[in-house]
């Protein structure tokens, strides 16, 4: 196992994001001024477009709406992605984080929305004790921008599968930093590119990370239409004000996507911000 980032990187990353949002659906952080300008109905369309597609169009094809299900996100801070699972499917959300700042951020978000903070587990995904304690423990295991931070992402996927119940669902999202996204990411934060495994950011290389003997692939492909939310920049960079303006403008783009594209999007390897894998853990033995 070779990490392309370290704990210090993630402590700094999450320390900058300790603000608890008023609404977990407003991931982009749009303010009340825009709501006044466009009205409440259109304001709801400012929701991050790929998340709308994911939770309203794609995942309902595969996941049951069952309050008894438990979902675990690996690298879960700040916890907004898990809140979407709780709101959409009624699942009990759990997260695991090895960064102290990440655990703090995630527990604050959970507490603000009535979820037990102790559902955030402070542990290293690769710790043998953690893997043993939670083996086959969750109905859904997910990660969102995690496996690309490792030189051997297939090994990270194995740790995902170990925590998943037989018959449970695995959901993995990886950013697409190729095509036009690569050029823009390099413009805003070239140094950060080194922390990403770019080789898996295509359909076939990503699919190869998932063991076919343990998983049935239900869905794999590009997700979403172009978004400035994919990019980041250091706060002391001269490009930070520019990206901040672009992210504000993204709210209007999201409205346009919803009105014109609805939930279909314009998925492509050039412009889509994410790749999505959905799989189901095979049931082996007498019941398989």
Digit-coded pLDDT (tens) for 54-106: 999 999 999 998 878 999 999 999 999 999 999 999 999 999 998 888 899 89
- Compute the distance between CA of residue 169 and CA of residue 219 in angstroms, rounded to an integer: 11
| Residue-level pLDDT at 26 | 47
pLDDT in tens, 141-153: 999 999 999 999 9
| Residue-level pLDDT at 12 | 59
Residue 10, pLDDT > 80, answer no
Q: Which two tokens stand for residue 147?
A: 């496996």
- Using CA atoms, how far residue 265 sits from 30, 33, 49, 58, 116, in Å, is 21, 27, 9, 12, 35
Residue 140, pLDDT > 60, answer yes
Q: What is the largest CA-CA distance in the chain?
A: 62
Residue 198, pLDDT > 60, answer yes
Q: Which two tokens stand for residue 282?
A: 């095979």
| Residue-level pLDDT at 27 | 41
Average pLDDT (182-209) is: 94
| Residue-level pLDDT at 241 | 94
Contacts of 146 (CB under 8 A, 6+ apart): 74, 75, 156, 172
Contacts of 116 (CB under 8 A, 6+ apart): 110
Given the DSSP bridges, would you call strands 215-223 and 274-281 parallel, antiparallel or unpaired? antiparallel
Confidence band, pLDDT 50/70/90 cuts, at residue 17: low
Instruction: Report pTM.
Output: 0.89
Peptide bond into 78 cis (omega under 30): yes
Q: CA torsion, points 88, 92, 93, 94, in degrees to nearest 10? A: -160
| Residue-level pLDDT at 39 | 72
| Residue-level pLDDT at 67 | 75
Question: Which tops the pLDDT comparison, 10 or 241?
Answer: 241
| Residue-level pLDDT at 8 | 63
Q: Which two tokens stand for residue 185?
A: 């990411």
Indicate the CATH number for domain 7-283. 3.40.50.150
Q: pLDDT averaged over the chain? A: 88
């Amino acid at each position: 196992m070779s990490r392309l980032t370290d704990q210090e990187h993630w402590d700094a990353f999450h320390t900058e994001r300790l603000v608890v949002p008023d609404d977990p659906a407003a991931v982009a952080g749009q303010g009340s001024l825009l709501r006044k300008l466009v009205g409440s109905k259109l304001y709801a369309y400012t929701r991050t477009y790929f998340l709308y597609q994911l939770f309203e169009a794609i995942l309902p094809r595969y996941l049951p709406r069952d309050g008894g299900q438990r979902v675990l996100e690996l690298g879960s801070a700040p916890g907004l992605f898990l809140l979407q699972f709780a709101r959409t499917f009624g699942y009990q959300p759990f997260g695991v984080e090895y960064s102290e700042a990440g655990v703090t951020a995630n527990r604050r978000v959970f507490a603000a929305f009535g979820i037990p903070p102790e559902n955030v587990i402070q542990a290293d995904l690769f710790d043998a004790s953690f893997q043993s304690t939670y083996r086959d423990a969750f109905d859904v295991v997910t990660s969102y921008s995690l496996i690309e931070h490792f030189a051997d992402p297939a090994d990270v996927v194995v740790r995902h599968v170990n925590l998943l119940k037989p018959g449970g669902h695995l959901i993995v999202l990886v950013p697409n930093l190729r095509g036009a996204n690569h050029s823009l990411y390099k413009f805003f934060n070239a140094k950060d590119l080194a922390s990403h495994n770019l080789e898996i950011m295509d359909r076939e290389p990503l699919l190869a990370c998932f063991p076919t003997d343990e998983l049935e692939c239900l869905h794999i492909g590009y997700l979403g239409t172009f978004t400035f939310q994919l990019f980041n920049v250091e706060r002391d960079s001269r490009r930070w004000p520019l990206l901040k303006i672009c992210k504000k403008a993204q709210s209007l783009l999201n409205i346009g996507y919803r009105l014109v594209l609805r939930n279909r999007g314009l998925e492509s390897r050039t412009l889509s911000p994410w790749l999505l894998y959905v799989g189901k853990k095979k049931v082996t033995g007498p019941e398989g």
